[in-house]
Amino acid sequence: MTIPYVTGTVSVTAGSAVVTGSGTAWATALIAGGLFGLDSSNGNPVPILSVDSNTQLTLAKPWRGTTAAGQGYWIVRDTAYLQQQTVNAQALSTYIQRLDNAALAALAGLTPAADQFPYFNGANTAVLTALKAKGRDIIAAVDTLGLLEKLGPVLGGFTPVPSEAGVGLADGDFNSITVPGVYTIAGTWTNGPSGAAGSGYTAMLWVIARKFNNRWVQGLLHGGFEYTRWSSDGVTWDPWIMTPALNGVNNFTSAANTFVGLTSSGSIFLDNGANYNSLALRRSGMEARLEAGATSINLGTIGAHPLTFRVNSTEKARFEEVNGDFLVGLTATPDPASGSTLGFAIRGNTGRAWRRSSGYNPFIQSRLASDGSVQDFYREHTLVGNIQVSATGTTYSTTSDYRRKNDVQPIVTFSLTPEQFDVLDNAELKIMGLRPVFHRWNDAPEKGVVTGFIAHEAQPIVPHAVTGEKDGMVDIGREIIPARDIEVEVEDEEGNYVIRTITIPEQINEGVRIDGLAEGAKFEKTGEIPVYQTMDYGLITADIVAALQCVIYKNMLQGEEIASLNAANADMASRLSAIEQHLGLPLSP
């Protein structure tokens, strides 16, 4: 039979599931469930939901009896819980037996000391070894970057030969050294810059590898020269490439790449067949390279250094190192709010340009042989205006095509009678014939209602102010530039310059307008795009002024007529008054 727990007294509240104890030790006594009841007949026994502390428990249901304090009580503990206590005790006994073994005894026999770390040196023996602050820092590092920070100079100390580096490498074959690191190279090695056969080297080798295991790089410092080579699989290697000292006498041939010092024509000749090739210049941490790429010749700097161009020892232009801006006549991109340096700057990655000048014609644009646009303005991919020139002047046009507008409404509405039409001269009729309108832009509804003209409506009236044709379209398609032969000057194997013919392959460009084809190109239409009409509102200024002058002049004539009529009326009134006085008639009011 389970013995009830009755230590202390309790207080209960009607309708509450919380029981408060005094002098109780429910958590210590490991009471986890069972039935709770009072010694009195107050209320019925209730199952215990949880034991919250030594002096508080929560019932599975609210107390149905009356509120009482300092009451005797009883708790009958759950039989299953007692069984679990027995299981726990048996498990604890098992764990205590496991602790009684030689390995733990070996550790227990050690005497701890500062900066000492225990480790096993035999089957059942353990000793202490030193673990200083730096070692603890390395163990405590949470990631690779933290580990490198704790290690300090990673390449500190002397570089080992591969076989002594502890990474499973053997000496003697450069092709087999694929584990990243820096190594000392001594003795006979195969597959080096001197060729596939064994040759003597006293050098330093560095190896780096890309994370995805598809690119290895080896660099070798040997005999005062630097060599590099690449591999895409760690097995087959590209030929060694040498960065030579350009003194005109260090001629050498190595694998497939050849450096022939200075040729008879005074040229430096580098040849690496179809493989990557470069010429590097270094000075005090700076490096520049001239590279032969697969489809281009590249000139640039390695690192954050400008690339400058000089004439007569004076800098004329540069690519600066921060944003890659191309500067002409400048050493820094100008600030429009300060400074006085003159020149031109372009920022290629944003399409921005700066120009500052002083004097005559700071900006010149010219179109030869034909009338048309010298500058087009686009919003996204839509033409919204341009500057056009002709033999007689310049127009500054903005898009006014009806196809780009909606909700078009006249600003004013009127009609003229034949009599009214007859009294208007040509200048007034021209202005009266224009229809200014309210409208909205299709591509910019956020602009709301704006005012303007419809280009094709205004064109018959002010043709000098409108460009393009109503519903104009232009063909677009593929521009095909045929293969062609050109003559170029090249250097032959003996260093002499000769004229040779090379063939430039056929070139195909998509999305080209038919009116923008290169000379000699063929055209295959793939579609068409609108050519929107534009208007130069400034070119109707003269028409407006002429009409205004007509109105002013007519007002002046009308004023003179009114003054003449007023004078005639005054004379007539004076005469009428004299007649009335002569006849003795009462004066007119």
- Residues 392-450 have pLDDT tens digits of 888 888 889 999 999 999 999 988 888 888 888 888 888 888 999 999 999 888 989 99
CA 168, distance to chain mean position in Å, is: 43
Task: Looking at 292-364, list the stretches that DSSP marks H as alpha helix, in order from N- to C-terminal side.
Answer: none
Query: Percent of the chain beyond pLDDT 70?
Result: 87
Of 502, 429, 488, 504, give the one whose Cα is nearest residue 461: 429
pLDDT band at residue 229 using 50, 70 and 90 as cut-offs: very high
Q: Which of 262, 296, 304 is nearest to 277 (CA)?
A: 296
Instruction: Identify the band that residue 586 occupies on the pLDDT scale cut at 50, 70 and 90.
Output: low
pLDDT of residue 256: 42
Using 50, 70 and 90 to split pLDDT, how confident is the model at 453?
Answer: very high
Q: Is the distance from CB of 29 to CB of 99 less than 8 angstroms?
A: no
Indicate the angle between helix axes 541-583 and 426-433, nearest 10 degrees.
120
pLDDT range class, residue 138, cuts 50, 70, 90 = confident
151-174, pLDDT tens digit by residue?
665 565 678 899 988 888 999 999
pLDDT in tens, 85-105: 556 567 667 777 777 778 888
| Chain centroid to CA 337 | 27
Residue 214: the pLDDT is 77
The answer to whether the predicted template modeling score (pTM) of the entire model surpasses 0.85 is no
pLDDT digits (tens, 9 = 90+) for 239-265: 998 765 544 444 444 444 454 444 444
Q: Which of 135-139, 200-204, 277-281, 556-560 has the lowest mean pLDDT?
A: 277-281
Phi-psi region for residue 114, left (φ > 0), alpha (ψ -120 to 50) or beta?
A: beta
Does position 519 have pLDDT exceeding 90, yes or no? no
- SS3 of 349-393: CCCEEEEECCCCCCCCCCCCCCCEEEEEEEECCEEEEEEEECCCC
pLDDT in tens, 419-432: 888 888 888 888 88
537 versus 381: the higher-pLDDT residue is: 537
Is-contact 9 72, C-beta < 8 A?
Answer: yes
Candidates 448, 506, 452; CA nearest to 479 is: 506
Tokens found for residue 324: 């890659």
Residue 59, pLDDT above cutoff 90: yes
Q: What gap in Å lies between CA 516 and CA 372, rounded to an integer?
A: 13
Query: For 329-358, how does the pLDDT look when each residue is reduced to its tens digit (9 = 90+)?
Result: 888 888 888 888 888 889 888 888 888 888
pLDDT, residue 250, reads 42
Nearest one of 8, 64, 77, 3 to 36, comparing CA atoms: 77
* Structural tokens at position 165: 């580096």
For residue 312, CA distances in Å to 127, 242, 309, 315, 316 come to 76, 32, 10, 8, 9
Number of H helices, E strands in the chain: 8, 38
268 vs 219, residue with greater confidence: 219
Average pLDDT, the chain: 84
Contact partners, residue 482, CB within 8 Å, separation at least 6: 506, 520, 521, 522
Among candidate residues 32, 138, 45, the one with its CA nearest the CA of residue 83: 32
